[in-house]
Amino acid sequence: MKKRIPQIKFENLTWICIENASFEDIQKIEKKFKFHHLDLEDCLEENQRSKIDKYSDYNFIILHLPRFKGRGKKYISSLELNIFVGEDYLITLHDGNSRLNELFNLCKNNKEYRSEFMAEGSGYLLYNILNDLFEKSFVLVDDLTRTLNNLEKEVFTVSSDKDMLKDILRLKKDIINFRRIIFPQRSLLAQLEHIKFSNLDSDLEIYFDNIVDKIEKIYSTLESLKELVESVHQTNEAMMAQKTNNVIRVLTVFSVIMLPLTLISGIFGMNVNLPNQDFGSIIISMCFLLFLMLVFFKRKGWL
């Protein structure tokens, strides 16, 4: 039994959404739409750069979106989204974007969603999809912000002896990866403002400008988070260094105190005759010397 390609038809517009496209899926698309073979090859390959290829009858777009990946300690990674936009169709190919699948199923099963998303042409459908996907990116930004706030509180907790370095570096890596994913999308989405995808499209510039505003806000927030996590990292290093210095200072004081006492006990511990009445004098002298050294260290602020 042949695998059917998932699609939704509304009036004259068709939306095809394929998750984890196989070579067979690509062949079906190639046979039906006659796309350029290099674009179809890009859909099968991983880690393609973000771009827009413009043709006379369609546009091919590669976008990257951030997502949390992994189990337990999740981390930020990139999710590629390939899009073909023509006069009366929009094709999305992705590698497990759960939100895109959710949008597709909502439009498929709900007439109101179909009308809202697909009634005004392929360009407006593209806007609705991208607007929703980048809107969901704010959830990731909020999660990183909460994590940073918790780390900051933990670092400034004086009584805490927990080593926060690994958690800080993990968060720092997530923020850097997030910025690396978002940065190329800024200029790419700005280009979409000036493209007419179908004859049904009205003035979409203001709509795509709305997405550009969202992504600029995300990037600006990530810049602030990057500065804050750098500050938390430096503060953590300074506080750990201070704790280490305090430990070394105490150990040094004890070592210096014990040094003359060890010297005295070593001298009088030599194998020579020593009157018994002098032993008490030695102990008293050592205690007096210990007291003088403690007073001296206290006045110096070393204790």
> What was the pLDDT predicted at 1?
45
Model confidence band, residue 159 (pLDDT cutoffs 50, 70, 90)? low
Taking the C-alpha atoms of residue 214 and residue 264, their distance in angstroms, rounded to an integer, is 75
Question: Has residue 101 got a pLDDT over 80?
Answer: yes
> What was the pLDDT predicted at 225?
92
Pairing of strands 7-10, 13-19: antiparallel
Residues of 234-255 as b/e, b for ≥16 C-beta within 10 angstroms? eebeebeeeeeeeeeeeeeeee
In degrees and rounded to multiples of 5, residue 96 shows phi and psi of 100, 40
The answer to whether 40 touches 62, Cβ cutoff 8 Å, is: no
DSSP string for residues in 9-64: EETTEEEEEEES--HHHHHHHHHHH---HHHHHHHHSSSPPPEEEE-SSEEEEEEE
Tens of pLDDT, residue by residue over 174-209, are: 999 999 999 999 889 888 888 887 776 677 888 888
Taking the C-alpha atoms of residue 36 and residue 38, their distance in angstroms, rounded to an integer, is 6
Beta bridge partners of 9: 14
The answer to whether 244 touches 280, Cβ cutoff 8 Å, is: no
Question: Has residue 277 got a pLDDT over 90?
Answer: no
SS3 at position 85: strand
Tens of pLDDT, residue by residue over 216-257, are: 999 999 999 999 999 888 888 888 777 778 778 777 777 777
What are the structure tokens assigned to 90, written together?
Answer: 């929009």
Tens of pLDDT, residue by residue over 145-157, are: 999 998 888 887 7
Taking the C-alpha atoms of residue 296 and residue 303, their distance in angstroms, rounded to an integer, is 10
Highest mean pLDDT out of 3-7, 119-123, 212-216, 247-251? 212-216
7-241: CATH architecture:
2-Layer Sandwich (3.30)
Top-confidence residue, 151 or 159: 151
Counting residues of the chain whose pLDDT is more than 90, the rounded percentage is 23
Half-sphere exposure of residue 12: CA atoms within 13 angstroms, side-chain side: 9
Q: Where are the domains of the chain?
A: 7-241, 253-300
Pairing of strands 51-54, 13-19: unpaired
Number of Cβ within 10 Å of residue 4's Cβ equals 7
From residue 70, alpha-carbon distances to 76, 238, 252, 264 in Å are 9, 32, 46, 64
Give the burial class of 123: count Cβ atoms within 10 A of its Cβ; 0-12 exposed, 13-18 middle, 19 or more buried. buried
Strand order in the sheet with 89-94: 7-10, 13-19, 89-94, 75-86, 58-69, 51-54
